[in-house]
Chains A and B, each alone.
Chain A
Amino acid sequence: MLRRALLGLVALVPLALARPVLAAEAPSEIKIGHLHAGSGPYASISMPVYLGLKLWVDQTNASGGAFVKAFNKKIPLKLISYDDQSSTATAATLYNQLITQDKVDLLVADSGSVLTSVAVPIAREHKQFLFDPTGTGATFFQNNPYIALLADPVSTIWPKYIADFLKDDGVKAGIKKVALLYSTNDFTGTQATALRGFLKTPDSGLEIVYDQGVPTNTSSYTVLINNIAAADPDAVIALGYTGNDIAFLRNLQDSGNKFRFLFAIYPGIETDELVKNVGPQGLDGVFTYVTSAAIAYKPEVGPTEAEFRKMFEKANAGSGVAYGFNAIAGYTTALVLQETLAHADSLSQADLRKAVFGLSGKLKTLDGTFELDEHGAQIGEITPLGQVHPEGKGVKITVVYPHDLATGKPVFGKP
């Protein structure tokens, strides 16, 4: 009797040993951790990203969840998003909360470089891969295997087309003197530095006659515009966040000053917001970055820009959040998450990273081609140069540079 029992036990040993080798049980939900700024200076770039991401989560859950290759089945998503109120100190605590307490599977940073910056060392310390929607600070990607920039290029790449255009078409049109006004933060400060480097080459034919950084919370530009006018530039490049652009363009309109070339970042990025606050006439002739909001890319994954716009506006009607590039960035981030889950061998951070980098150059969304360099910096979703023209009660944006993407010719102001 005892012998039979012992034999039975011995027979069970291989089964017991084999048990850990079996695949881990599928979780009941995939937790996505995120921060958004519901108030403060970064709310205007953060809320659209959050709502874009939330829209995808709601859509995915309505269809039974996201397909997770590691478990070969659809699993519902749970979005845990805290409000950091645009405070880096609060954001740091909340990123820690998401990693250590909520134990999220996927960590998505808040929008913009400032609120992403505090997530970078925390994610690296905890060996948690950081899905970075729009934090473009170049330093994030130095010696850091735990990050990838998903929806727009690093800050140093953004202004390249402005410089190339001025050196090419601009000089031919008689532009020689350039004024540079920028807000002193990571996003625009880095662009200003890069632009200076691009323009100050011996053969550029351009001279920077005004170069001024101002705090990001600057809301009155009247004196600065007069100072710029006194330097008599042909081209004025204003680099700021949405609020800065609105204040600058309004003050410029009131001042009556005109320049042959005027550039601002956000008319092409948060177009609806700028039209609402500055008006189509105030944006007439302004050069700007062109994002996927104005270029109809043909996506292979997810909706087209036009389809997404309809979905976003329907889902967020009455929210007060304007549709623009940041909404696309939020949804693009979501599509990268979707494809990551569909390709990762497991939910380990190493496998998630491998899956994200595996998508590089292959994933085409409404935001263009997703492509990473070896450090995780985005280099595929480019920002060509465009120009705003009033059209009815709104505006139309034409791409003017590079020439192979151009949909119209640039129109310079009168000298």
Chain B
Amino acid sequence: MRRTVGRRGTGDLLIALVVTAIMAALPFGYSNELLLFNFVTFLALSQGLNVLYGFTGYLPFGYVGFFGAGAYGFALTVMHLNWPPLAAMAAAGVAALILAAILTPLLRLSGAYFAIASLAAAQSVYEIVANPALEDVTKGPYGVSLSGVFAPMFSYQVGVAVLLFSLVVVVWLRNSRFGLALQAIREDTVSAAMAGVSVVRGRTIAWLLSALIAGLVGGVYAWHISVFYPDTAFNIQFSIFATVFVLFGGATTLIGPILGVVILYGVYNTIGITVPQYFQLIYGVLIVALVLFLPNGLVSLATRRGIRVP
């Protein structure tokens, strides 16, 4: 049994490495690295959301709050402390972790209450950052310019490293006792607790891990685009997209969110560039079709037939 899990873990890890290698190599064959970077951003962000939603069942509409906290954690340490970008990346992760620690009591809520409360929390952080009275600290609504550390290719590769980290976390959760414990909590909290699983500890660790990934993605995003506004870093679109990608592909799996990003974000960029006026219609139809016919995501086409999906 343990050997099977180990073999599966190796297979999952191989997939993570292949995806990472492909994303690392793509800029050498396709020069719009910002478009590729957006793919990296959403691949990592959707895996971060997968950690929380897929393994604990908590769906945070305000997930973008951690992303924004990471972006501003990075920006503030670069602007005010002149930290080098890699050190500022650590600050991005820490900023998201601090925010997550402060918001941990939200885990006492569940379902729609948790989703809405997390959205309100993200909005609160946005309002604080965008407050004109804090212009000297955060630049308020006037946005941040980090042209001094602008390094598109280097930051892209750091983004790929963050992607690898997020994929490895999901591989670990899918193949560890801790991941199984989280899934047990998700399915039946009382039974899991009765079986000796520490519910609070498990949920809190998943919450912090998920926030850390979003914070790191936010930090590298800030570094890569170098000019952004609070409404860019706290744009609800990040939450919506990450959620849709996870649901579309299939939560709790490694492949599901990857499929969601590749297909839906691919469609978004194709339609969004050529016929943006039809984008919302086409996207809406796709999502309605998914909810009606594949509520557990694309991977359920295989899992229904008893095929294990990584």
Contacts and interface: CB of A to CB of B under 8 A. Distances in A.
B33 to A, nearest CB: 7
Given A89-B235, A100-B31, A189-B142, 10 more contacts: A85-B272, A87-B235, A89-B38, A96-B33, A117-B143, A121-B145, A139-B145, A189-B141, A213-B141, A215-B141
B10 interface: no
Nearest to B275: A83
Interface of A: 38, 82-83, 85, 87-90, 92-94, 96-97, 100-101, 114, 117-118, 120-122, 124-125, 139, 184-186, 189, 213, 215-216
Interface of B: 31-35, 38, 130, 132, 140-143, 145, 147, 150, 152, 225-229, 232, 235, 237, 269, 272-273, 276-277
B152 A93 contact: no
A118 B227 contact: yes
A186 B152 CA distance: 24
Nearest to B34: A96
Contacts, number: 76
Given A94-B273, A125-B150, A184-B140, A213 B132 contact: yes
Q: Which of A186, A213, A216: most chain B CB closer than 10 A? A: A213
B302 to A, nearest CB: 32
12 contacts: A92-B34, A93-B32, A93-B38, A96-B34, A96-B35, A100-B31, A117-B227, A124-B147, A184-B130, A185-B142, A189-B142, A213-B141
A80 B146 CA distance: 29
Contacts of B141: 184-185, 189, 213, 215-216
B298 to A, nearest CB: 25
B218 to A, nearest CB: 13
Contacts of B38: 89, 93
B47 to A, nearest CB: 20
Nearest to A84: B276
A186 B231 CA distance: 13
A118 B142 contact: no
Contacts of A88: 227-229, 232
Contact of B225 (A83, A92, A97, A114): A92
Contact of B34 (A93, A124, A189, A216): A93
A207 to B, nearest CB: 21
Contact of B229 (A85, A93, A100, A114): A114
Given A93-B34, A93-B35, A101-B31, A184 B142 contact: yes
Contacts of B269: 93
Nearest to B152: A125
A83 B278 CA distance: 12
Contacts of A114: 143, 229
A97 B35 contact: yes
Contacts of A100: 31-33
A124 B148 CA distance: 12
Contacts of B150: 121, 125
Given A97-B32, A100-B31, A121-B226, A90 B145 contact: no
Contacts of B232: 88-89
Given A38-B277, A184-B141, A185-B142, A122 B132 contact: no
